[in-house]
Amino acid sequence: MRIPIVRDVLEESNARAQENHALLNKFGICTVNLMSSPGSGKTTLLARTISELNKSALRCAVIEGDITSTLDSERLQPLGVPVVQVNTDPFGGDCHVGSHFVQGALKYLELDKLDYLFIENIGNLVCPAEFYLGEHERVVVLSLPEGEDKPLKYPLMFRECNLCLLNKVDLAPHLEVSAERFTENIHKINGALRVISISGKTGEGFEEWMTWLQTRRADHLSRHGLKAAEEA
Amino acid sequence: MHELYVAQCILDSAEKALPDDVAGSSVREIVVLVGRLDAIVNDSLTFLFDVIKAERGFPSAALRIDVEPVSCRCLRCTEQFAVPDVDCFFCPECNSRDVKVLTGRGIRIMEMTVEDGVEV
């Protein structure tokens, strides 16, 4: 006997993500899911981003996702911001951070003392794009050495994000790639995806990235009728 | 390699969708519709589903995977069009890149088959 059903298999995952989203909204925390392949420079970008935001008295925390190791968390320790390490290895080695991991990690953070939460997803251009975690913004980091073809090979990631940070642009003189060609391929997949050329090493593009982050946060606070954490 | 997690989600969803008095052990087939955009490797999903199905209470269930092609609607001229190779999302009529994905995204259970004689 056939039983017709139409049921989203990620409904449980999405339900937890919605709970995360509601909690983050309650505290007015702008949450950014940073995704990329391994070695794109996410952690270096993140460290510089947090330093810049701290200069404006904006308080950050990080959920650091890796299959194994605490190496990235250790790199962020000198910044003195709360970092919660999530390792998926003991739970089957998932190649992405799941909404249930974020739910668990949020319990370790003082949410009333945060303006931004960054989720540094596991380095992988395929799987993390599939899973909503409750974040407000999805940002893909793509670096010049990875090659211009990546948006065409991993279309879901570039469809699902609302900002692309084209990183390591300081290496352009040493590579046979063209930033224009990157952008052209990104826009074949998602014509609305904004691209910021950036360098985590030299700081190029950071002014535009900081403006984007602060504009997005202001939009979220205004849309949800929220005040910043210190005013709540 | 998110196929293991997806296999777990399929079995969790199947368990919730079954009527209370129908055992998972009576399920013979689960049909899922997988969007082409989702980058699921069908062979890996089937393999991992088979590895974990018994411990999840569905020892006799086979997994059938149907793939949903990607289609879009142009938000400028309303043209609907297919994106067979998932590599170019602009409108073939007006060349706009302001398009909405209509199909080919998401993973859904569509149907389950239980063994003959089981009342549902």
Question: Minimal Cα distance from B13: which residue of A?
Answer: A9
Task: Report DSSP state, residue B65.
Answer: E
Q: Does A148 touch chain B (CB under 8 A)?
A: no
Contacts of B107 in chain A (CB under 8 A): 8-10
pLDDT at A232: 45
Residue B47's H or E segment, with its range, is: helix B42-52
Let me know: does A187 contact A193? Beta carbons within 8 Å. yes
Output the DSSP codes for chain A. -EEEEEEETTHHHHHHHHHHHHHHHHTT-EEEEEEE-TTSSHHHHHHHHHHHHHHTT--EEEEEEESS-SHHHHHHGGGT--EEEEE-GGGT--SS--HHHHHHHHTTS-GGG-SEEEEE--S-SSGGGG---S-SEEEEEEEGGG-TTHHHHSHHHHHH-SEEEEE-GGGGGGSS--HHHHHHHHHHH-TT-EEEE--TTT-TTHHHHHHHHHHHHHHHHHHTT---GGG-
Q: Which residues does B contribute to its contact with A (CB < 8 Å)?
A: 1-2, 4-6, 9-10, 12-13, 16-18, 32, 37-39, 86-90, 96-99, 101, 105-114, 116, 118, 120
Question: Amino acid letter at A25?
Answer: N
A131/B111 Cβ within 8 A: no
This complex has an ipTM of 0.88
Question: Amino acid letter at A31?
Answer: T
Domains recognised in chain A with CATH numbers: 11-222 (3.40.50.300)
Across B54-67, average pLDDT: 97
Q: What's the CA gap between B86 and B104, in Å, rounded? A: 10
Pairing of β A116-120 and β A163-167: unpaired
Task: Report DSSP state, residue B22.
Answer: S
pLDDT at A96: 86
pLDDT at A179: 87
Task: Report DSSP state, residue B11.
Answer: H
CA dihedral A103, A107, A113, A116 (to 10 degrees): -20
pLDDT at A93: 67
Residue B14's H or E segment, with its range, is: helix B3-17
Structure-token match 């953070």, residue found = A109
Per-10-residue mean pLDDT for chain A, 232 residues long?
91 96 96 96 96 96 86 86 86 80 96 97 92 97 96 96 97 91 96 96 97 96 70 48
Contacts of A189 in chain B (CB under 8 A): 87-89
pLDDT at A86: 86
Closest-CA residue to A73 (of A95, A31, A42):
A42
Question: Amino acid letter at B47?
Answer: F
B37/A159 Cβ within 8 A: yes
What does the block give as tokens for A214? 């602060």
Chain A nearest CA to B119, separation (Å): 8
Q: Which residues, 6 or more positions from A26, have their beta carbon under 8 angstroms from its beta carbon?
A: A111
Is residue B57 very low, low, confident or very high in pLDDT (cuts 50, 70, 90)? very high
Minimal Cβ distance to A6: which of B99, B108, B113: B108
pLDDT over threshold 90, residue B7: yes
Let me know: does A108 contact A84? Beta carbons within 8 Å. yes
